[in-house]
Amino acid sequence: MRWYWIDRFVEFVSGERAVTVKNVSMGESHLHEYWPGYPIMPSSLMVEGMAQTGGLLVGETQAWQHSVVLAKVSKASFECVARPGDVLQYTAILQDVRPDGGLVQGTVHCNGEEFG
């Protein structure tokens, strides 16, 4: 991965679940480019953070023998925006894994409240 949209793991249970955290910082240039004058974290980057969390969970179960690529997002909706100072928590639950792919359910919390 060229860019990481997660800062650290707070929980990792091999083959089951992973929980990561992203601290939204005013120093991130993408916050200022999305809506100039109104710094927010783009929803697409929150989806990417969730995908990275799930991808690392899937990749670890396969001993990193295969590349993991996000192929489909069945549903994603965000009711709020994340601003500098907010803490995003991504939870990925592994539902199924096979040699040709895996299924992960993900949720995003912002400052402890479900976000998407």
- Write the pLDDT tens digit of every residue in 45-63: 999 999 999 999 999 998 8
- Are 88 and 82 in contact, with CB atoms under 8 Å apart? yes
In this predicted model, what pLDDT tens digit does every residue of 2-60 receive, in sequence order?
A: 788 999 999 999 999 999 999 999 998 888 887 888 999 999 999 999 999 999 999 99
**Residue 61 maps to a domain:** yes
**Residue 2 maps to a domain:** no
Tell whether the torsion through CA atoms of 75, 79, 84 and 88 is positive or negative: negative
Read off the pLDDT of each residue in 103-108 and give the average, rounded to a whole number.
94
What 3-state DSSP class applies to 53? helix
Residues in Cβ contact with 66 at an 8 Å cutoff, skipping those fewer than 6 apart: 59, 99
Domain that holds residue 30: 8-74+85-114
Tokens of 59: 């990749």
**Residue 36 maps to a domain:** yes
What CATH number has the domain bearing residue 41?
3.10.129.10
Burial (0-12, 13-18, 19+ Cβ within 10 Å), 60 = middle
**Residue 34 maps to a domain:** yes
**Residue 107 maps to a domain:** yes
The reported pLDDT for the residue numbered 51 is: 94
**Residue 80 maps to a domain:** no
Q: What is the domain count for the chain?
A: 1
